[in-house]
Amino acid sequence: MESNGGDAFRILEEIETLKAAKSDIEHRIANLQVQIGGVAVEEMTDSILCPPISTNDAGFGHGLSPEMVYRYSRQLLLPSFGVKGQSNLLKSSILVVGAGGLGSPALLYLAACGVGRLGIVDHDDVELNNMHRQIIHTEAYIGQSKVKSAAAACRAINSTIDIVEHREALRTSNALEIVRKYDIVIDATDNLPSRYMISDCCVVLGKPLVSGAALGLEGQLTVYNHIGSPCYRCLFPTPPPTSACQRCSDSGVLGVVPGVIGCLQALEAIKIASAIGEPLSGRMLLFDALSARIRIVKIRGRSLHCEVCGENAAFTEQMFQDFDYEKFTQSPLTPLPLKLKLLPENVRISAKEYKERVVKGEAHVLVDVRPEHHFKIVSLPKSLNIPLSSLEGKLPEISSALKEEEKCNGPTSSPGASLYVICRRGNDSQRAVQLLHKMGFTSAQDIIGGLESWARDVDPNFPIY
């Protein structure tokens, strides 16, 4: 039995080694394809992965080769799409900004359906917590460029189209140069300055913009700057306060929700590129996943007074390049977790210091001020969950806990039980300590960096989310 177990273990090890080697070879092939570029990539990939594809008319009068007819046959059968729609699509170029939750399904379907040239812009790397929603990526690409991963997936689906990789953040310094090369733009980003920047760039260059958003269990979608439809600034001339702008990393999202919106973004882009149907210009689609409802609402038309697309607007390419979108929206293009500093150092301790006090057996109460559903994900032993929103009404509960702790530990040299406050990242805990001090709990101390610091500095096996 032991021998069989040892053999099985060696076989499993060899399988994992071969898998890693296969992944490495695939990555190297993708890189070489990019280096060769253009027609050479298509010729090489076609000869390896599928029969040679002829770009000649082949005598059928529509310019589609026999292989193209077979590949796209289910689309060609649609009377409203047909040969004309497919031909238009093959001649089109679409840029997807963001290879995350929205961009993943959009890219996969655009590649599969036969967009002639597909551009991908992103500067991030693939992470494990992307997997539940960013379905274009696989575990093999964790730690590598999202653009590299997405491009490989698109080429695996359709080796006959041109995939262009832009492994960089879209900024005012490069946006005009990149966007100018494409017919249609899909905004699959998740931050406010990018939305304004991409919309303004599309107006300046006269490109239709398919814009989507997803958060929690809801999503929305519209088409800007197309057939007289407004731009993003027409609807939101003044940026909303940063407190009103939530992100998936803070508020969460059900993986399939951006998947639904991303698929619809691909659909709208395909409709525009192939010149079929009625795009969502001047209308907005609202998706409620929890109730399974989709509503289409009419949005206000193009504003005559819009600074970018209005009647007297003089927003030039140079003005675009000089515009500070981070300052305008009061938020960064690449948001990092908020790190507040509301308290003096003498009322804050590190996670390591707190651990030392626990080990010494110090009598104390640890209040966790995260929402209850956060607390249920993971928490420190013996912590008391009192969400920040209800803290003021639960002060008697804290007093009782402190008295009980003092009673359990008996008389000591310490004047009483200590009070510590923790949260996810160390921001709400500071707000809580401020409130506790005002309400008479002057010994309350904040644990710097919250549970993320605990996981980083004390217990590497402690889950982070």
Residues known to be catalytic = 248, 423
206 is in an annotated binding site: no
Pairing of β 348-349 and β 364-368: unpaired
Q: Is 133 annotated as a binding residue?
A: yes
**Parallel, antiparallel, or unpaired: how do β-strands 283-288 and 218-224 relate?**
antiparallel
Alpha-carbon gap, residue 126 to 10, rounded angstroms:
30
Angle between helices 256-274 and 103-113 (to 10 degrees): 40
Cβ contact 151:106 at 8 Å: no
Instruction: List phi, psi (to 5°) of 164.
Output: -110, 125
Residue 306 known to bind ligand: yes
Q: Binding site annotation covers 427? A: no
User: Was 231 annotated as part of a binding site?
Assistant: yes
How far is residue 136's CA from residue 122's CA, in Å, rounded to a whole number?
13
Report the alpha-carbon distance of residue 268 to residue 187 in Å, rounded: 12
Structure tokens that stand for 302 in this block? 């193009």
What angle, rounded to 10 degrees, do the helices at 2-36 and 146-157 form? 90
Is 129 marked as a binding-site residue? yes
Element (H, E) at 93: strand 93-97
Q: How many whole angstroms separate alpha carbon 38 and alpha carbon 30?
A: 13
**309 known member of a binding site:** yes
Is 130 annotated as ligand-binding? yes
- Residue 126 vs residues 103, 185, 215, 259, 420: alpha-carbon distances, Å: 13, 23, 20, 17, 36
Annotated binding-site positions for ATP: 101, 122, 129-133, 146, 190-191
Q: Binding site: residue ranges?
A: 101, 122, 129-133, 146, 190-191, 231, 234, 306, 309
Q: Which residues are documented as binding site for Zn(2+)?
A: 231, 234, 306, 309
